[in-house]
């Protein structure tokens, strides 16, 4: 059970950050964007009711997540230590801080549910809600890296709280823009509120991003003391992912701002109504993934604390060097014979057979994906080269139904991903699944790949073109990216384990690009539809290349 508890800890941490963004972001949305007490604001009651509801629902969910996170830690410690962790755990900062924050969050949510929801137009009640939220926000300072530092802990704790606050303000605001669009499309609110709230949030969002950068840079410089620390550690690697995701989100935000500016100049609402809503939805995908990445980052020791476990940038780059894929696998008997050394607690030394088995799995998976994505990219080419003439019919099937490769890949991974466990190995299904977090994640990923292929194939049948089935693909791809970004991020891991991790992390980023591109392809008009679709399958091709050239480190 320790494996599943450790895995769930990262997921519940990301969920808690999403809930924090809903609660605090909703509060900022009401105080600084809506400002419902302003004369002639004219907001319909349903808009304010939904805003307050998202505030207190996010608060109650955050309190529940905080308590569940403590329970998971108790579960994990009990499994690892083989003893009840109390009363010692009750005296730790993590326990006390977690309980205090859960209680303070309940106070905020309860106030908003009982009082603010009945007086949503009152400036005094909104300001009181802001004051009630202050202790809850500050309490988070005792649940971050800075609380355990010896150097400048107060400054770092303060910067962390400001960083979290600004992120929640921006991300929570994006969630509310999605909500406003849904209400506008259902004609629950006047159409002219959509451009007005977009314009108001544009300035507020830029200010929030500025605060994120101003608070984040000093913390990064404090926790990372070298270029190798940025490139060659789990902490630095995940921070790099956060920066990449921030860049993606800001690119989508820039498209939104450009469309809003153009609307108020030309009064042409086409982009505002047929592109911006879907850019915002894609931005929400990115920002949710960013929050889960931040949760994984919180489980990593700062780079400055682990100089002996830091890989050089040359070692990191070498992991992505093109190599001839391995197309021959060792026997299952040879793999099992080498397992004792690979799973040893002390002196982990992978056997040659185990290393070759893993390389083969990854390389064959890469061949699956690059082949699939090649035919997918051909579907966007208007005129095929003459070399393909005579095969148009067969090529049409391949370019249309390329997701069948996911089905084949899922079957391949079912037998190959963890060959020391069921169905090939001696370790039973339930024992291996719930006692090894890595095996659990592999099983989820295998099921995800198979289901993704089946659903996308069904969605591409002519009778299903106008159904909701095509939307499962980007949602499942985004979840797959999230899984990769939280994959086996052990705190004090060996350098070899980190070098394996970085490939998974980069694939997680490309999986998100795949998801966003496919989502925008389904939503946008041309030419944006075709551009987004091609970017989507090009990202899948990049994932295939990473897998095809994969090699486990030999130390």
The last residue of a domain, from among 285, 305, 325:
305
pLDDT tens profile 66-101: 999 998 888 878 877 778 888 888 888 889 999 999
pLDDT tens profile 99-158: 999 999 999 999 999 999 999 999 999 999 999 999 999 999 998 878 878 888 899 999
Rounded mean pLDDT, 339-347: 46
pLDDT tens profile 320-330: 989 899 999 88
Rounded mean pLDDT, 446-475: 88
For residues 7 and 60, state if they share a domain: yes
Task: Quote the pLDDT of residue 51.
Answer: 95
Q: Which residue has the higher pLDDT, 361 or 389?
A: 361
For residues 239 and 268, state if they share a domain: yes
For residues 204 and 294, state if they share a domain: yes
Rounded mean pLDDT, 487-515: 80
Cα torsion through 220, 221, 226, 232, rounded to 10: 0
For residues 93 and 199, state if they share a domain: no
Judged by DSSP in three states, 427 sits in strand
Residue 554 lies in a domain: no
Residue 160 lies in a domain: no
Which helix (H) or strand (E) is 147 found in, with range? none
Burial of 288 (0-12, 13-18, 19+ CB in 10 A): buried
Q: What is the number of structural domains in the chain?
A: 3
Nearest to 136 by CA among 215, 44, 56, 72: 56
Q: Residue 322 has what DSSP assignment? A: -
pLDDT tens profile 239-295: 999 999 999 999 999 999 999 999 999 989 999 999 999 999 999 999 999 999 998
For residues 433 and 472, state if they share a domain: yes
Residue 163 lies in a domain: no
For residues 511 and 413, state if they share a domain: yes
Task: Quote the pLDDT of residue 2.
Answer: 53
Residue 151 lies in a domain: no
Rounded mean pLDDT, 30-38: 93
Task: Quote the pLDDT of residue 220.
Answer: 93
For residues 431 and 289, state if they share a domain: no
At 403, give phi and psi (nearest 5°): -60, -10
Mean pLDDT of the chain: 88
Task: Quote the pLDDT of residue 110.
Answer: 97
Q: How far is it, in rounded angstroms, from Cα 438 to Cα 255?
A: 39
Task: Quote the pLDDT of residue 345.
Answer: 38
Rounded mean pLDDT, 484-495: 64
Task: Quote the pLDDT of residue 75.
Answer: 81
Q: Which residue has the higher pLDDT, 496 or 99?
A: 99
For residues 295 and 332, state if they share a domain: no
At 427, give phi and psi (nearest 5°): -85, 130
* Res. 523: pLDDT tops 60: yes
Rounded mean pLDDT, 488-508: 75
Four-residue CA torsion sign, 47, 52, 55, 61:
negative
Judged by DSSP in three states, 323 sits in coil
Q: Residue 470 has what DSSP assignment? A: G
For residues 413 and 340, state if they share a domain: yes
Q: Which residue has the higher pLDDT, 163 or 315?
A: 163
Which helix (H) or strand (E) is 320 found in, with range? none
Task: Quote the pLDDT of residue 376.
Answer: 92
The last residue of a domain, from among 273, 288, 305:
305
Q: How far is it, in rounded angstroms, from Cα 208 to Cα 499?
A: 34
Residue 421 lies in a domain: yes
The last residue of a domain, from among 305, 327, 361:
305
Task: Quote the pLDDT of residue 344.
Answer: 38
For residues 453 and 482, state if they share a domain: yes
Rounded mean pLDDT, 229-247: 92
Task: Quote the pLDDT of residue 488.
Answer: 52
Residue 212 lies in a domain: yes
* Res. 466: pLDDT tops 70: yes
Domain that holds residue 247: 169-305
Task: Quote the pLDDT of residue 341.
Answer: 45
Task: Quote the pLDDT of residue 420.
Answer: 79
Task: Quote the pLDDT of residue 247.
Answer: 96
Residue 155 lies in a domain: no
* Res. 232: pLDDT tops 80: yes
For residues 505 and 426, state if they share a domain: yes
CB 377 within 8 A of CB 541: yes
Which of 132-141, 299-308, 488-497: highest mean pLDDT?
A: 132-141
Look up residue 435 and give its two tokens. Answer: 């006692």
Rounded mean pLDDT, 401-426: 88
Judged by DSSP in three states, 85 sits in coil
* Res. 346: pLDDT tops 60: no
Residue 475 lies in a domain: yes
Which pLDDT band, with edges at 50, 70 and 90, does 487 fall under? low
For residues 127 and 242, state if they share a domain: no
Q: Which residue has the higher pLDDT, 313 or 32?
A: 32
Cα of first residue to Cα of last residue in the chain, in angstroms, is 29
Q: Residue 420 has what DSSP assignment? A: T
Rounded to two decimals, the pTM is 0.91
């Amino acid at each position: 059970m320790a494996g599943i508890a450790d895995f769930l800890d990262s997921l519940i941490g990301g969920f808690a950050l999403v809930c924090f963004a809903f609660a605090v972001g909703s509060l900022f949305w009401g105080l600084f964007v809506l400002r419902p007490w302003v004369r002639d604001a004219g907001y319909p009651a349903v808009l304010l009711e939904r805003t307050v509801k998202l505030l207190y629902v996010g608060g109650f969910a955050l309190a529940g997540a905080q308590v569940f996170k403590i329970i998971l830690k108790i579960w994990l410690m009990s499994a690892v230590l083989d003893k009840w962790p109390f009363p010692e755990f009750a005296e730790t900062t993590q326990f006390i801080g977690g309980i205090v924050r859960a209680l303070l969050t309940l106070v905020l949510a309860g106030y908003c549910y009982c009082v603010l929801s009945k007086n949503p137009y009152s400036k005094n009640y909104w300001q009181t809600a802001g004051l009630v939220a202050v202790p809850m926000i500050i309490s988070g300072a005792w649940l971050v890296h800075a609380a355990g530092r010896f150097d400048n802990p107060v400054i770092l704790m303060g910067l962390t709280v400001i960083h979290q606050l600004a992120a929640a303000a921006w991300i929570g605001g994006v969630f509310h823009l999605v909500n406003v669009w849904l209400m506008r499309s259902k004609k629950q609110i006047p159409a002219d509120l959509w451009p007005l709230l977009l314009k108001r949030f544009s300035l507020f969002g830029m200010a929030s991003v500025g605060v994120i950068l101003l608070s984040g840079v000093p913390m990064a410089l404090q926790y990372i003391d070298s270029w190798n620390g940025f490139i060659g550690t789990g902490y630095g690697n995940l921070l790099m992912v956060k920066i990449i995701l921030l860049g993606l989100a800001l690119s989508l935000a820039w498209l939104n701002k450009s469309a809003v500016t153009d609307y108020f100049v030309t009064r042409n609402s086409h982009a505002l109504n047929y592109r911006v809503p879907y850019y915002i939805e894609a931005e929400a995908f990115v920002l949710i993934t960013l929050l889960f990445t931040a949760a994984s980052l919180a489980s990593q020791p700062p780079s400055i604390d682990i100089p002996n476990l830091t890989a050089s940038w040359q070692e990191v780059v070498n992991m992505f060097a093109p190599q001839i894929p391995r197309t021959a696998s060792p026997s299952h008997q040879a793999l099992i014979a080498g397992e004792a050394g690979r799973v040893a607690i002390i002196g982990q030394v992978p056997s040659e057979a185990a290393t070759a088995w893993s390389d083969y799995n990854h390389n064959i998976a890469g061949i699956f994906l690059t082949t699939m994505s090649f035919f997918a990219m051909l579907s966007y080419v208007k005129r095929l080269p003459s070399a393909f003439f005579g095969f148009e019919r067969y090529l049409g099937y391949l370019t249309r139904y390329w997701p069948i490769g996911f089905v084949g890949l899922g079957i391949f991974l079912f037998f190959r991903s963890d060959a020391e466990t069921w169905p090939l190995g001696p370790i039973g299904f339930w024992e291996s699944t719930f006692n090894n977090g890595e095996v659990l994640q592999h099983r989820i990923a295998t099921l995800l790949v198979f289901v993704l292929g089946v659903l996308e194939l069904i969605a591409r049948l002519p009778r299903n073109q106008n159904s909701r089935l095509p939307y499962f693909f980007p949602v499942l791809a985004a979840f797959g990216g999230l899984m990769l970004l939280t994959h086996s991020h052990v705190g004090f891991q060996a350098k070899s384990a980190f070098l394996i991790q970085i490939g998974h992390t980069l694939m997680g980023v490309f999986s998100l690009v795949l998801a966003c591109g496919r989502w925008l392809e389904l939503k946008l008009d041309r030419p944006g539809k075709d551009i987004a679709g091609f970017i989507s399958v090009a990202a899948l091709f990049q994932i295939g290349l990473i897998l095809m050239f994969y090699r486990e480190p030999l130390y």
